Amino acid sequence: MTGFAELVAATNYSFLRGASHPSDMVARAIELGMTGIGIADRNTVAGVVRAYVALRDAREKLTGQELPPFDFRLVVGARLVFVDGTPDIIAYPETRLGWGRLTRLLTKGNLRAVKGDCILKFEDLLEYLDDISFIVLPATSGEAQQAHRKPVDYPSDIPALRLVSSSDENSLSGTLRRLRSKAPGRVWLGTSIGLVGNDARQLARLKRLADLVDVPLLATNDALYAEPAQRPLHDVLSCIRLGSTIADAGRALEANAERHLKSPAEMARLFRTCPEAIAETQKFLARIHFTLDDLRYEYPHEPVPRGRKPLAYLFHLVKQAAQERYGAVLPPKVRKSLAEEFRLIRKRNYAYYFLTVYDLVRFARDQKPPILCQGRGSAANSIVCFLLGVTSVDPLEHNLLFSRFVSEDRNEPPDIDVDFEHERREEVMQYVYGRYGRHRAGIAATVIHYRQRSTIREVGKALGFSEDVTDRLSGTIWGSWDGKDVPEERLTEAGFDPSNPRMMQLKELADQLLTFPRHLSQHVGGFVLTEDRLDETVPIHHAAMKDRSFIEWDKDDIDALELMKVDVLALGMLTCIRKSFDLMRDHGLGDQTLELDLEAADTAVYDMLCKGDSVGVFQVESRAQINMLPRLRPRSLYDLTIQVAIVRPGPIEGDMVHPYLRRRNKEEAVHFPSPAIEHGRPDELHEVLGKTLGVPLFQEQVMRLAIVAAQFSNSEANQLRRAMATFKNLGTIDTFRDKMVEGMVARGYARDFAERCFKQIEGFGSYGFPESHALSFARLVYVSAWLKCHHPAVFTCALLNSQPMGFYAPAQLVRDAREHGVEVRGIDINASEYDNRLERRKDDQLALRLGFRQIDGFRKEWAKQLVAARGAGFFHVEQLAQRAGLPSRALRLLADSDACGSIGLKRRDALWEARRTPQGILPLFAHAEAAELGEEARIELPTMAFSEEVVTDYQVTRLSLKGHPMQFLRSTFEREGVLSCVEASKATEGKIQRVAGVVLVRQRPGKGNALFITLEDETGITNVLLWARDFERYRREVMAARLMEVEGEIQRSKEGVTHLIARRVFDRSELLSRLTDGHPLRLPPSPADGAKNPSDPRHGHPRNVRILPRSRDFH
């Protein structure tokens, strides 16, 4: 029997058509004993790398088990689906050149269409058909596609919008004839036996046709999934695609489950009247020489000046920088490191890559004003990166190993990620497109997967569940639950019976659909650059965002193919730091750069941090970090590195935090776990865990542990690392559990330690910090803490001007600044600008003047007009209206925000004046109109109560310099015996107390065993901890309260941090409405922590509308 290979196999990257993962298709094909498989998705090659990786891993596994490799070929290509009625054609490149043609063809189609669609006509194929073999299928599966209105950088030919019905020209025989004449010997006619009744006649007809046009017939099953059991899932996918329900879809669904991968024997039986069609699959396979391994590509040459060799030029740059830093004679250590790095760079030919990154960084720094940037991630292990100015930490000082960045055993390209100021990153991105051209630069894709919510919603809809049921199942409860399937408790929790048959169907299908790719989106900033045309390596798509284009492979694919990418990322703190430096320069406080105090040795800064005084400071400002600071007491940059890395899911879930703290505080001896004596040196972990007192905290320490303690081979460790990176999606990590834990136990390690290490790996999943990355971040922690410590006014001003960013809302930032002795001045029409700014006080201190940007809805151009027209100042509202030409809305906002103080108008009087100024008068008539406004009898308005002033401040600017709403309720609470926050912090430990305050943050971190709630009042804040088991009882109060009263036990850690362990929770929000005559008061929401901030209720009575703004919640 000759072999058989399925050459028309779709995967779930044929979105909503294929019902199996590429890896499953490959695995099943191997299992069935095929000689190969051809992966061809609809107008895309997005899934082929996954198939390639699956095959590679399968081979690696065999090598690991010392089994002989099997003979199996993976060929990759695409199913071309045309809009002009041409039958579908499967295209497999025979060579690298053919691959380039195919990807260019797909790019052409993609760029004509809007995101996700692809417009191809048969004529397009004729331009690109060399070096490609084709299988023509009997019919088209085309659908109407949407044309892009402005295809980027592409000659505008007329896009075909609608499907053209098949004419003779496009009919099967016509297509075969034309294609055969252009590509002789490379065309096959694919036929399948789908058990539709007339298969025998169909086969005979195609055979006649094949003979007539002289192309061989090729047997295929046009597979959509790996196994017949996947038919229900495929039906559901079809329903999702068609937007119908399973009951209504009818004949739009496949009649049977035949489109799975069939064994060679079964195929031979089906094609018993035509065995040559089976044999043709082998002939076809033999023609294809291309594999994805051939995609070696060259890095752009641009950054090297004419006449210089890249390596020499790189060496020149680095040497110059080294001599500047270390002196003309380089220390031996530096020389040694440089020699080692250059050896690898030369060997691997990475010079261009380093120079490209250098080029980006240089571009950013050469801007006027410069854009701050700093490398993150493992690049900080490289002294070359440091000397090129890409990263800011000297790896020699911290004994960072280059091999963690690029290593000889790990056959992986370097990955340099650079952060830029978030407000100006787009400039860098457009520079990249501009410098390399859109055909050579593309952003990586991000594959958006089905998540629990979307899965349940869509499967539910397809199965005909009503929306309220699916919403109830998917949307109600906190966040999504991680993992591979939909837990039954979730169904029970939502009030459904998991044993109900319809629920079972929903659950089973949703479980299967979870982790399917849903669509492609663009990565946040990972660029792939090439010397040659990028579209000859991978197809390019339009991004939904204007002026962006992206390639259809994601980060993992790029890694797997060893392509290099540069991550151009955005970081808000860099914007803030740059603005701080600008302010310092403007106010004569010196000209600083990110290199300020490279030693990071200012004790004042550490003193401040040790007190937990870190609001606004990069990375260490969250509640958890603030609680950790006094316990860890950082005194050096490396301590900050640990501080940044330790409050993360990895170390927390691995239960490594407390051991580390105990050891650091000398309450526990530093002890290194060691293997049994017969298995190795007892100090084998010293080197791995030395810096962290024997406790693994960083990502790479755990990886080293796997190698050293569990004796993983390098390739296994690599697989583990890969599994870690993709853990969330694929769940392959479990397979490593036994190996690691048992491996360590077998060598005499304590099981408990081994399991904690593995837990940590799981926790690292996607949130682990490698040491070098944490170090880079620690630099920014130091810089921002330094600014906060020495220039609090500058720092707060810059933070406010960089919003939205960070963890706290302006109200908290301003409050913190005032607590640090900064005078904060209110918004005023005669003093403020759009941005917040600094004013020199009489005593030469700096005061912070709030800017118009703090007013909700106040436009930047209004502020510009106002400042330009200010001159010697305004004296009354009419003048403001006329001179600045402000619309009445702007005037009203200014009056509402009490910004007319300098012209002697209180808020209410200013508003009375402002509202009188008519709307929308032409400037020409403004003067004439103004005269008429003159006379009006004085109307007495009631004086605004102080509480109302504060409340209005919050309503308009989300913060008040005058007071806090809680102070007006203090007497009420005092009568009830409720403590203020400051009283609570002094209360006796163990006592049951009640505290009330405005809710700032609700968080449910990690595994969700506890909820952390932060309450604020006029005296300070209180940290509340509510155990999850009590949460259900107080769910409504916890979720709805804007003013919350909590009864609980006072607990104090030995560092003096007070917590209130909640026993009862009360919603006291109604008190707030008393303050305001029942109209809404908005307290500032805190912006970060993944909060979903539902906007204000749309309608309803002001008295029903909420008083305080959202706090920052979790969902």
Partner 1 sequence: MRPADLHLKSNCFAVAPVPRDHAGEWSGIVTDVLSGNRRYLAIWFPFLPADRLRRNPPKSSASALEGVPFAFVEKVKGALRLTGVDARAQSFGMVPGLTLADARARVPQLLAFDADDHADRDWLKRLAQSCLRYTPMVAFDDPDGLILDITGCAHLLGGEEKLTADVSRRLAMIGMTTRTAVAGTSAASRALARYSQTDGDERAAIRRLPVTALDLEAEISLALIRAGLKTIGDMAIRPMAALAARFGGETVERLRHLLGEVERPIVPIHPPAPVMAQRRFAEPIARTEYTLTVLGELAAEVGLRMEQEHVGGRHFVATFFRSDGLSRTLSIETGRPVRDADAVIRLFRERIDGLSDPIDPGFGFDLIRLEVPVIEQLPAAQLKLEGEATIEVQAAALIDRLSTRLGRDRVFKLAPCDTHIPEQAQLALPAVEACSPVAAWPVTDTGEPPARPIHLFDPPQPIEVIAEVPDGPPRRFRWRGTWHEMRRFEGPERIASEWWKRRDGVIGKTGLTRDYYRIEDERGRRFWVFRHGLFGEKPDPKWYLQGLFA
Cβ closest to partner 1, residue 291 vs residue 505 = 505
- Binding to partner 1 by residue 778, rule CB under 8 A? no
Asked if 802 and 808 touch (Cβ cutoff 8 Å), the reply is: no
CB of 1070 to partner 1, least distance (A): 9
CB of 451 to partner 1, least distance (A): 15
Q: How many CB atoms lie within 10 A of CB 202?
A: 16
Cβ closest to partner 1, residue 473 vs residue 822 = 473
CB of 1086 to partner 1, least distance (A): 17
SS3 of residue 264 by DSSP? helix
Cβ closest to partner 1, residue 144 vs residue 252 = 252
d(CA 205, CA 203): 5
Asked if 763 and 657 touch (Cβ cutoff 8 Å), the reply is: no
Options 68, 69, 250, 305; binder of partner 1; rule CB under 8 A: 250
- Binding to partner 1 by residue 451, rule CB under 8 A? no
d(CA 354, CA 346): 11
d(CA 352, CA 310): 6
Cα-only R_g, the chain: 33
Residues 6+ apart with CB under 8 A from 474: 452, 453, 454, 455, 456, 457, 460
Footprint of partner 1 on 946-1005 (CB under 8 A): 952
CB of 630 to partner 1, least distance (A): 33
Give the x/- contact pattern for partner 1 in 880-909, rule: CB under 8 A. ------------x---x----------xx-
Options 167, 181, 256, 320; binder of partner 1; rule CB under 8 A: 256
Cβ closest to partner 1, residue 476 vs residue 735 = 476
- Binding to partner 1 by residue 489, rule CB under 8 A? no
CB of 501 to partner 1, least distance (A): 5
Helix (H) or strand (E) holding 380: none
Footprint of partner 1 on 328-367 (CB under 8 A): none
Asked if 885 and 865 touch (Cβ cutoff 8 Å), the reply is: yes
- Binding to partner 1 by residue 505, rule CB under 8 A? yes
- Binding to partner 1 by residue 1049, rule CB under 8 A? no
- Binding to partner 1 by residue 546, rule CB under 8 A? no
Residue 269: HSE in the Cβ half-sphere, 13 Å Cα cutoff: 6
d(CA 125, CA 186): 14
Q: Per the omega criterion (within 30 degrees of 0), is the bond before 151 cis?
A: no
Cβ closest to partner 1, residue 463 vs residue 560 = 463
- Binding to partner 1 by residue 198, rule CB under 8 A? yes
Asked if 181 and 187 touch (Cβ cutoff 8 Å), the reply is: no
d(CA 462, CA 458): 6
Candidates 74-82, 770-778, 843-851, 937-945 — which segment interacts with partner 1 by CB under 8 A? 937-945
DSSP class of residue 412? -
Options 114, 253, 330, 867; binder of partner 1; rule CB under 8 A: 253
Options 1035, 1053, 1056, 1074; binder of partner 1; rule CB under 8 A: 1035
Cβ closest to partner 1, residue 132 vs residue 894 = 894
Candidates 98-106, 624-632, 744-752, 1095-1103 — which segment interacts with partner 1 by CB under 8 A? 1095-1103
CB of 954 to partner 1, least distance (A): 13
Cβ closest to partner 1, residue 463 vs residue 775 = 463
- Binding to partner 1 by residue 1029, rule CB under 8 A? no
- Binding to partner 1 by residue 477, rule CB under 8 A? yes
Residues 6+ apart with CB under 8 A from 687: none
CB of 858 to partner 1, least distance (A): 15
Helix (H) or strand (E) holding 230: none
Would residue 1021 be called left, alpha or beta, if left means φ above 0 and alpha means ψ between -120 and 50 degrees?
A: beta
Residue with tokens 């004796």: 711
Give the x/- contact pattern for partner 1 in 1005-1024, rule: CB under 8 A. --------------------
Q: β-strand 132-136 against 187-191: which pairing, if any?
A: parallel
- Binding to partner 1 by residue 671, rule CB under 8 A? no
CB of 206 to partner 1, least distance (A): 15
Question: How far is residue 483 from each of residues 50, 361, 489, 732, 755, measured CA to CA in Å?
Answer: 21, 39, 14, 11, 19
- Binding to partner 1 by residue 468, rule CB under 8 A? yes
Q: β-strand 1043-1052 against 1058-1067: which pairing, if any?
A: antiparallel
Footprint of partner 1 on 561-590 (CB under 8 A): none
**What are residue 1045's DSSP bridge partners?**
996, 1066
CB of 221 to partner 1, least distance (A): 13
Which residue stretches of 749-902 are H helix? Answer: 751-767, 771-790, 792-801, 810-819, 860-870, 877-884, 888-896
The overall longest dimension of the chain from CA atoms, in Å, is 107
Candidates 64-72, 189-197, 349-357, 388-396 — which segment interacts with partner 1 by CB under 8 A? 189-197
- Binding to partner 1 by residue 209, rule CB under 8 A? no
Options 56, 207, 1052, 1115; binder of partner 1; rule CB under 8 A: 1115
Options 196, 265, 604, 992; binder of partner 1; rule CB under 8 A: 196
Tokens linked to 611: 């007190």
- Binding to partner 1 by residue 251, rule CB under 8 A? yes
Footprint of partner 1 on 23-82 (CB under 8 A): none
Sheet holding 846-849: strands in order across?
823-825, 846-849, 837-840
Q: β-strand 1010-1017 against 1020-1027: which pairing, if any?
A: antiparallel
d(CA 1050, CA 990): 5
Options 57, 94, 117, 235; binder of partner 1; rule CB under 8 A: 235
Give the x/- contact pattern for partner 1 in 834-873, rule: CB under 8 A. ----------------------------------------
CB of 912 to partner 1, least distance (A): 6
How many residues contact partner 1, by CB under 8 A? 79
CB of 258 to partner 1, least distance (A): 6
Options 478, 533, 748, 847; binder of partner 1; rule CB under 8 A: 478
Residues 6+ apart with CB under 8 A from 987: 979, 993, 1050, 1058
Task: Give residue 675's identity as a one-letter amino acid code.
Answer: P
- Binding to partner 1 by residue 931, rule CB under 8 A? no
Angle between helices 603-610 and 623-632 (to 10 degrees): 120
Candidates 197-205, 415-423, 669-677, 991-999 — which segment interacts with partner 1 by CB under 8 A? 197-205
Options 562, 1040, 1056, 1090; binder of partner 1; rule CB under 8 A: 1040
Options 209, 370, 1079, 1088; binder of partner 1; rule CB under 8 A: 1079
Cβ closest to partner 1, residue 448 vs residue 604 = 448
- Binding to partner 1 by residue 272, rule CB under 8 A? no
Cβ closest to partner 1, residue 576 vs residue 1011 = 1011
Candidates 210-218, 380-388, 503-511, 660-668 — which segment interacts with partner 1 by CB under 8 A? 503-511
Asked if 985 and 1022 touch (Cβ cutoff 8 Å), the reply is: yes
- Binding to partner 1 by residue 1033, rule CB under 8 A? no
d(CA 968, CA 960): 14
Helix (H) or strand (E) holding 1051: strand 1043-1052
Question: How far is residue 641 from each of residues 17, 28, 576, 672, measured CA to CA in Å?
Answer: 47, 46, 21, 21
DSSP class of residue 17? T
- Binding to partner 1 by residue 926, rule CB under 8 A? no
- Binding to partner 1 by residue 1066, rule CB under 8 A? no
Sheet holding 73-80: strands in order across?
5-9, 36-42, 73-80, 89-93, 132-136, 187-191, 217-219
- Binding to partner 1 by residue 312, rule CB under 8 A? no
- Binding to partner 1 by residue 258, rule CB under 8 A? yes
